């Protein structure tokens, strides 16, 4: 039976988890937001406050509406606090071991009929489902960044995902006012299968000295009409996430055309993860971003 989602648990209060929390609360749903790191949970809640304030100052929502939205989001300090959720969306770091560990401990705290979803950018839904006690109630719900702005959500069924789980997830996305598309469970699904090799190629272009950060981004903005240059976009996504998606494509499709650029690996090893670390292909520590190469 399809289930109407009223209460959503979210694991990971990073850029995606906090964005998902905001749009769920804005759609009138109750939200329980969890992160293993209490500081990240605080930062996530503050970024929601900042996002809502921006909407108030732009006149998109009223102050009172913003307070109502915010009051629907409650911190969850452990998985036990996620017990009342109809749907739990995992939006933790893009690492398979981390996600498997979450699913293997999470399920014991949930109702048997609760749906469990992952926001993974690339990892096999079928494989992650196998780490839960409910592969038939498990699905990929892949939001785009920044969640409050982007219209699309990819839905990905694992081999065991039941129709009722898919229909409930589809209705949930419609309730958020977003558009869903269906993708088969192949590495990186549709959007990232196409987008990340383009970003990786832009990094190769930089690595081989074909152009500077500035010329590559300007070329793609003005020459291909992209709203953001590929290196700017890589920083925005997070270079650790970009590397992880390329590794999943490389290993999952066993094709050398997906090999991650060594320069991307180097930036991640340096901890220059993009905007969230204040440094990536640009340095964000000053008033305007400055290219790092």
Q: What residues make contact with ligand NAD under the rule CB under 6 A? A: 11-17, 34-37, 40, 91-94, 98, 102, 119-121, 142-145, 237-238, 241, 276
Cα–Cα distance, 265 to 243 (Å, whole number): 7
Q: Which of these is catalytic: 124, 154, 183, 244?
A: 154
CB 220 to ligand NAD: min, Å: 18
Select 36 or 175, whichever has its Cβ closest to ligand NAD: 36
- Residue 204, burial from CB neighbour count under 10 angstroms (0-12, 13-18, 19+): middle
* Helix, strand, or coil (residue 115): strand
CB 59 to ligand NAD: min, Å: 27
E-strand spans in the chain? 7-11, 30-34, 73-76, 87-90, 115-118, 138-143, 152-157, 179-183, 282-283, 290-291
47 among known catalytic residues: no
192 among known catalytic residues: yes
Select 73 or 91, whichever has its Cβ closest to ligand NAD: 91
CB 222 to ligand NAD: min, Å: 24
Q: Which of these is catalytic: 109, 180, 192, 200?
A: 192
Cα–Cα distance, 88 to 282 (Å, whole number): 34
Select 121 or 183, whichever has its Cβ closest to ligand NAD: 121
Select 142 or 157, whichever has its Cβ closest to ligand NAD: 142
Would you tell me how many other CB atoms lie within 10 Å of the CB of residue 211? 14
Select 106 or 115, whichever has its Cβ closest to ligand NAD: 106
Would you tell me how many other CB atoms lie within 10 Å of the CB of residue 202? 26
Residue 119: both structure tokens together = 């926001």
Paired sense of beta strands 30-34 and 290-291, if any: unpaired
39 among known catalytic residues: no
Q: Sheet of 152-157: strands edge to edge?
A: 73-76, 30-34, 7-11, 87-90, 115-118, 138-143, 152-157, 179-183
77 among known catalytic residues: no
Contact 88, 11 (CB under 8 A): yes
Within 13 Å and on the Cβ side, how many CA atoms surround 250? 15
CB 1 to ligand NAD: min, Å: 29
Q: Which of these is catalytic: 47, 90, 94, 142?
A: 142
Select 3 or 138, whichever has its Cβ closest to ligand NAD: 138
CB 73 to ligand NAD: min, Å: 15
CB 187 to ligand NAD: min, Å: 13
Q: Which of these is catalytic: 18, 34, 119, 121?
A: 121
Cα–Cα distance, 109 to 116 (Å, whole number): 12
Residue 264: both structure tokens together = 């991307």
Contact 108, 125 (CB under 8 A): no
Contact 164, 2 (CB under 8 A): yes
Catalytic residues: 121, 142, 154, 192
């Amino acid at each position: 039976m399809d289930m109407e989602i009223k209460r959503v648990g979210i694991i990971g209060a990073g850029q995606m988890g906090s964005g998902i929390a905001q749009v769920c609360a804005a759609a009138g749903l109750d939200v329980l937001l969890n992160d293993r790191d209490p500081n990240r949970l605080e930062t996530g809640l503050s970024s929601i406050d900042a996002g809502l304030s921006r909407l108030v100052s732009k006149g998109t929502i009223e102050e009172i509406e913003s307070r109502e939205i915010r009051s629907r989001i409650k911190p969850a300090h452990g998985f036990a606090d996620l017990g009342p959720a109809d749907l739990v969306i995992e939006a933790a770091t893009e690492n398979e071991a981390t996600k498997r560990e979450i699913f293997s401990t999470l399920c014991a705290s949930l109702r048997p009929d609760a749906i469990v979803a992952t926001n993974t950018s690339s990892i096999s839904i079928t494989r992650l489902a196998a780490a839960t006690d409910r592969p038939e109630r498990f699905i990929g719900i892949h939001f785009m960044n920044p969640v409050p702005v982007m219209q699309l959500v990819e839905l990905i069924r694992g081999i065991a995902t039941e129709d009722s789980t898919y229909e409930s997830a589809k209705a949930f996305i419609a309730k958020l006012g977003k558009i869903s598309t269906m993708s088969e469970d192949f590495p990186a699904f549709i959007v990232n299968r196409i987008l990340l090799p383009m970003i990786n190629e832009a990094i190769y272009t930089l690595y081989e000295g074909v152009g500077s950060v500035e010329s590559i981004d300007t070329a793609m903005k003005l020459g291909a009409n992209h709203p953001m240059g590929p290196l700017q976009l890589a920083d925005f996504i997070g270079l650790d996430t970009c590397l992880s998606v390329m590794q999943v494509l490389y290993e999952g499709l066993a094709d050398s055309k997906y090999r991650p650029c060594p320069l991307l690996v180097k930036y991640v090893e340096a901890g220059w993860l993009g905007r969230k670390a204040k440094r990536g292909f640009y340095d964000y520590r000053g008033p305007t971003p400055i290219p790092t190469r």
